[in-house]
Structures are given as C-alpha cells and as structure tokens.
Amino acid sequence: MRPLALSERLDFAPTLSLAELLAGESAPLTGDTDQTLQDYTREILASGFPELRGLSWRGPEAQLDSYVARVVDHDLAELGSQVRNPIALGLWMTAYAAAPSTTASFEAIRYAATAGRSDKPARATLAGYRDALERLWFIEPVPAWQPRTSQIRLLGQAQKHQLADPALAAHLLGVDAPRLLSGGEVDPRIHRDGTTPGALFESLVTQSVRVYAQAARAGVFHLRTRGGEHEVDLILERRDGRVLALEVKLSRTIDDRDVLHRRWLRETIGEHPIDAAVITTGPGAHRWPDGIAVIPAALPGP
C-alpha cells in the first residue's frame, strides 16, 4: 500500500486514465484544472499518508517525526539491522532526502552525510541500512530501464532515488512552503541538474504514477544514458514491452527543449513507444504539435 495518489487527495475526478494511455487508446486529451504551484507544494508537504490528512498544521510534522524515530529505534531492529550509531543513520537519511529524483552514487550520499566527521560509518553498514529501509518501504528507488530490444546502448544502471512520500524528504530537510516556492536550491550537498522544488515535484508525480501503473500492471522505470546525453524521468512498461514515456516539469508551460528526449526515444525504439507526455503544473491538457501530450499533474488517474 503506497501513500495516496493525487487523484485520491483532490476533490475532483481525474479526466485522464493512465490505463487508457497505456492501452494505446487515442482519445483526445481533455480537462482543465485550477491547481497551481502553491497547491502542488502544499501536497508535497501534506503527505499522502491517510492518517496525516486533515490534521492541524503541526500535526503532520509531529507524526513524521514519530515515524522516522520509530524506523530508526524499532523497525530496523525488527528486520535484524542493529543500529549502533543512530546519529550517523539520521545524517544518512537526511542526505538521501537531499537526493530525490537523482541518480547520485551511494558514495556521494555517504560523503554528504559524513562530511567533516572522522567517525564515518563503513560502506557495508550503510548499505545494510539502505537495504533495510527499502524493505520497510521508507525508500523506494526507481530502477533503471532495461529495454527488451537492443536499439539503445550505453544505458546507465543506477537507480533514481525516491522516498516513499515526498513529505518525508521535505521533513528530513526541514523545508517549508516559502522555501520551496522560492524556486531555489534547498540543499546543495547533492549535485543535481535542477532544483530541490523540481525534484520533490517529480517525487510527487512519481508516487502517483506508481499507484496508477500498478493498477494497470505496468512497471515503472527511468532512463538515463551513461553520459547523461539523454534521460527520461519515467518509463512505464507494459507486459509486452511497449512503453509510455513521461517527463516531469515544474512549470506551467513547456518549450521545444522539454520534448527533445521523448522525440529521441520515439525515433530510437520505433514502434515500441505507446505514447509520450510531459507532466506539468499547467492548467489544461493538450497535444504538442508533434503529438507529445502535455498533461497537468492533477488530471491523470487510474
């Protein structure tokens, strides 16, 4: 059970079905939304955990504090992971929270967590914690896509980091709505192409897309070539190997640069793409002149 998707949180019915897009149905894109960047930022911070919905403004913060403490103090031990240095583990969790929607190496995260400290935990110790946190669904990285055909070469193998809920990342980083809405970088310890607000918006979209894809029996992956020349935020793969490519942009509008990688993928793997779309914070769904869909994050559902 994952946290609530956006279609389960918002008070209007979705106008687009991810299952229909995955089925290759060519129905026209319809729907408008009045959801704004402020609304999506609120959802990043509010969390999709059902018990946190509707609490007073300090309620979610206290509950997330309690959840993180329980994971460190009890849940990891129940999985057989002895936490000998909870402070170091907390620092690693915060460093991981600074890396959402990136493929930063685990050594880079370890360095970010322990910079300036002489008592660095061993790599094997942190690897054990990481594996246990994944088994607890505290973190849920997006695996790299491995296509069944060989048209794409030199693909990266690294996972894209994500926590189970973007509210966990925001909470561990100590960020609030004004800092996210400022649009700037929040935590520079982990190198990224964009900013933390954009990364957390991608986390929010990824969480929702995973809910819809699971219902449609599709896998969720990401694509990045080894040199970083091409990348696609989310690849949804059907059981027959055909794919739906999604890019996530923290903007109301897009330009030609935002669809370049989707075009490259479509041209590279021929008939295998079902469709391609850019998920935005904009007001209405439509098609770009080359056929790529532009979809506000609030509109898709199962």
Q: Which helix (H) or strand (E) holds 224?
A: strand 219-224
Main-chain dihedrals φ then ψ at residue 137, nearest 5 degrees: 60, 25
Stretch 14-38: mean pLDDT: 87
Q: Are 223 and 236 in contact (CB under 8 A)?
A: no
Closest CA to 213 of 153, 270, 140: 140
Calculate the dihedral angle through the C-alpha atoms of 297, 41, 51, 82, rounding to the nearest 10 degrees.
100
Half-sphere exposure of residue 156: CA atoms within 13 angstroms, side-chain side: 23
Q: Tell me the per-residue pLDDT of 176-190, one tens digit each, with 9 for 90 and over.
A: 999 999 877 777 777
The CA distance from 31 to 298, in Å, is: 10
> What DSSP state is assigned to residue 284?
B
Q: Tell me the per-residue pLDDT of 235-258, one tens digit each, with 9 for 90 and over.
A: 999 998 889 999 999 999 888 777
Whether the predicted pLDDT of 119 surpasses 90: no
End-to-end CA distance of the chain: 15
- pTM assigned to the model: 0.93
What's the confidence (pLDDT) of residue 33? 95
Whether the predicted pLDDT of 27 surpasses 70: no
Across the chain, what does the average pLDDT equal? 88
Task: Say how far residue 262 (Cα) sits from the centre of its chain.
Answer: 18
Task: Say how far residue 276 (Cα) sits from the centre of its chain.
Answer: 18
